[in-house]
Amino acid sequence: MAKINSMMDVGKRAMMNSQTALQTVGHNIANKSTEGFSRQRIETQTNIPISEGRYQVGMGAKTSSVTRINDIFLEKQLRFEGTQLGFEQAKSDAMTRVEQIYNEQMNKGLNQSIGEFFNSFRELATNPESTATRTLVRDTAKFVTKDFAKAVASLRAIQGELDQQVTQQVGQINAFGKEIAQLNEKIAAIEISGAPANDQRDRRDLLIKKMSEMANVRVTEAGNGMISVTVGNSGIIVSGNSSNEITSGRVENKNGREGIRNAIFIQPAVGADPMNITKEIKNGSLGGIFEVRDVAINSLLDDVDELAFSFINGVNGIHRQGFDAFSNPGGALFAPLQNKIEAAQNMGLDAAVAKDPGRIVAGIMPNAPGDNRIANMIGELQQQRVMEQGTTTYDEFYNSIVGKVGIATEKANRSAESQKNIHAQLENIRDSVSGVSLDEEATKMIEFQKTFDASAKLIQTADEMFDTILAMKR
């Protein structure tokens, strides 16, 4: 009778194992499309046998745990490559926006305006006595100042858009950090009993990967299953079951330019002053944003200012050498500037010229209506090598800016595409290791169903044996 009871215990445990396995299969199938889910499986081990004299009788199997199929080294590599992908993609997106500003095939650009300005002086040289031509020169000069200002405004608009992205991503990082801290507490509570917190760990790993795509983060895990997350080198946003927040704050530019930019701060302790950790974030999408916003665009602003400053001084220097339509000594055509910084934004016509186009100089001698030498000299200035210590013309300098933007954008696009491929390959490897195959799960479902049926048959057989023995006693 004892052995028949043991048979029923073996059958009962086998049915329970099959039920657990079938439920696990169903869980896998239901989460086939869940982002970050790792396939789970049950681990069984032989139950403790019982001794029968000189031999032992097996007591079936028992479920030891339900584990997830997960490669921690692959997850770390995915996290690292995701950080690089975030950086390259953000840089590519931002540089594509910058490139559109310099696309003169789609819209009138600065180079075309400068060309029209010099053409207007060549036209003035053919008819130096014409008031209408002087008015044309004034208008084209005004358009040049507007296009210089427009170029600056367009670049700063992109910086403003990038600032908004910084604020949005800081909010996402804080939300992820708060949820990770909550998951830490759940994982520790579950695993203290020895059971692995599979679904909670999957979710936490996914949040870490998403956070890594936005910034370079460092993750350390304690013995109780809790992790700490640090943004940059010193921005601890998760420690155990508590979370801290990074903030986006406005700081003034320190390069002499007007305006303020978004920076990232963290308060290391209650009552402590916020610490600026912007320079610590070198990767992820935030790193890419800072690279374009603070380096690439500021460099382009410097180039535009240098072009504007040289252009103003070059034109004014020649314009002052002659006499205007009223035989007055020539003054500045453009309002003089003392500093190259912000030259493009602050560029404007001289007040006298703006008021009266007759103040525009065409000749080098007074009382010489047909004198066009100054107009010719300004027209020829376009082809003179006055930029970069006398090595390039205005056109060549501007074209070099356009070429630099094009090369940088193409490089960023290629890097982003290459990094996408690397990340996609790793994702495919992860799917092959941890992903759910419906065909495989369907096969397992049939297997566990048959195991369940066989276990039930074992219990039924033991029950019939009981009936047979009881019938013998009657």
pLDDT tens-digit profile of 20-46? 999 999 999 999 999 999 999 999 999
The count of C-alpha atoms lying within 13 angstroms of the C-alpha of 135, restricted to the half-sphere facing its C-beta, is 3
Q: List strand residue ranges (DSSP E) for 253-331, in order.
A: 260-266, 275-276
Q: Residue 249 forms beta bridges with which residues?
A: 263
279 to 163, 229, 264, 275, 431: CA distances (angstroms): 15, 18, 9, 11, 35
pLDDT average per 10 residues of sequence, the chain (474 residues) = 78 93 96 94 89 82 91 94 97 95 74 93 93 95 94 93 95 96 95 92 96 96 92 92 91 64 87 89 96 94 95 95 92 93 93 94 90 94 91 93 94 97 96 94 95 92 86 73
CB within 8 Å of 438: residues ≥ 6 apart:
29, 32
Q: What does the pLDDT read at residue 273?
A: 87
Q: What does the pLDDT read at residue 210?
A: 96
The model's pLDDT over 241-256, given as tens digits with 9 standing for 90+, comes to: 999 999 998 887 655 5
Helices first, then strands: H and E counts in the chain: 12, 11
Q: What does the pLDDT read at residue 329?
A: 94
Q: What does the pLDDT read at residue 251?
A: 80
CA dihedral 421, 424, 428, 429 (to 10 degrees): 80
